[in-house]
Homo-oligomer: A and B are copies of this chain.
Amino acid sequence: MAKNRVTLKDVAQRAGVSYQTVSKLINRQIRLAEETEQRIWQAIQDLGYTPHYNARSLRAQRSFTIGYSWPPSPPDETNPILDQFLQSMFVAAEARGYYLLMFPYHYEVEKQIAAYADLIDAGRVDGFILSSVEYDDPRIRYLQERNFPFVAFGRSNPEWVFPCIDVDGGQGLYEVTQHLIALGHHRIAVLAWPRESRVGNNRLEGYFKAMAEAAIPIDENLILRGEGKLDFGYRATQQLLSLSLTQRPTAIVALNDYMAIGAMQAAQEQGMRIGEDLAISGFDDIPLARYLTPPLTSIRQPIWEIGQHVIQRLIDIIENGQIPEPQCLLVPPTLIVRASTDPKVKASPFSRTATQKEVISR
């Protein structure tokens, strides 16, 4: 297994210099005679030297490791962005010589904080990425208090100042609502999350803004709140469709795709033609969205870019200590119009042309 490892001393001996000199060359902290430098590189090559991570970290008091933990998705739902987010992050990390360390997410606050504290105290990580950030997030409080580097994917309390990046969900909802209004809809229902949901509230604001700009009064009966699951979307839509003709919505905006799918099923069971009799939109643009019948209008988050950004930012903070402005960056999502809201964008989802006909707004 771990046989006789090649160390700096081996390289140094072969190159005929002291081992510290080799170290300095590797870390580019020194100018060497051209000839010596070549000799050393050659020796490194010949012996196949790789610096020992733990020794380096011990001495430098740096771990070149970023910690990440996230809440597991419930069994009846998959996290549509996890894979891409992770891949994006560790590609970005690798490019700067870092790796990502995963550790379990605990729901009990104390155990959760303890997990972060242990990693810090053990010197295993140089910083953290946070996601699924909520109001009063104890992790943010703790890390700020210890003055330990982190970057969050998601906003928290508006008055808190910390490095974060977030998708402007409000902008997404603003656009989709505008899109529906432009198509002539007035009674637009929302399948929303509970009031405590920070993400939900951010998104809802965009809906209110678009409605206000179009001078359409808000009907509180059309805003239904639930746990964001498919069957809530289904039941809520049944309820909406049981309203009288003058009250019933002509469009439903769901805050995620699962609820939208539930809504589609409920509407189809009642024989309604989605996109014609009733418009439905989702959020997240899960891969399946374009394959549904009809294809689902949705809002896509720039996950890859967020992963890149969040890591770049964290490493900048770790290495330079400086937190660049703006503290919190908002990136706009992309509205993807499909036949579930606009029947003109229809056709079989499998023909090449149909796929291209998806209207990517912006």
- Taking Cβ atoms with an 8 Å cutoff, the residues of A that contact B are 1-2, 5, 48, 50-55, 57-58, 61, 63, 65, 72-73, 75-80, 82-84, 86-87, 90-91, 94, 99-105, 118, 121-124, 147-149, 230-231, 234-235, 261-262, 265, 268-269, 286-288, 290-291, 293, 349-350
Contacts and interface: CB of A to CB of B under 8 A. Distances in A.
Contact of A90 (B104, B230, B287): B104
Nearest to A349: B231
A277 to B, nearest CB: 18
Nearest 8 pairs between A and B by C-beta?
A50-B121, A53-B122, A54-B58, A54-B57, A72-B87, A231-B350, A100-B102, A53-B124
B123 A54 contact: yes
A102 B123 contact: no
A269 to B, nearest CB: 8
Contact of A84 (B72, B86, B124, B235): B72
Contacts of A91: 104
A267 to B, nearest CB: 12
B78 A73 contact: no
B90 A94 contact: no
Contact of A50 (B55, B72, B122, B291): B122
A268 B292 CA distance: 12
Nearest to A67: B99
A77 B291 CA distance: 11
B99 A99 contact: no
A121 B55 CA distance: 12
B287 A265 contact: no
A350 B90 CA distance: 39
A57 B122 CA distance: 11
Looking at A2, A54, A231, A287, the one whose CB has the most chain B CB atoms below 10 A away is: A54
Nearest to A82: B83
Contact of A1 (B58, B149, B230, B265): B149
A101 B99 contact: yes
Contact of A102 (B75, B90, B147, B262): B90
Nearest to A148: B1
Contacts of A118: 50
**Residue among A105, A147, A287 with most chain B CB within 10 A:** A287
Given A75-B287, A102-B99, A124-B99, A55 B53 contact: no
Nearest to A235: B350
A187 to B, nearest CB: 25
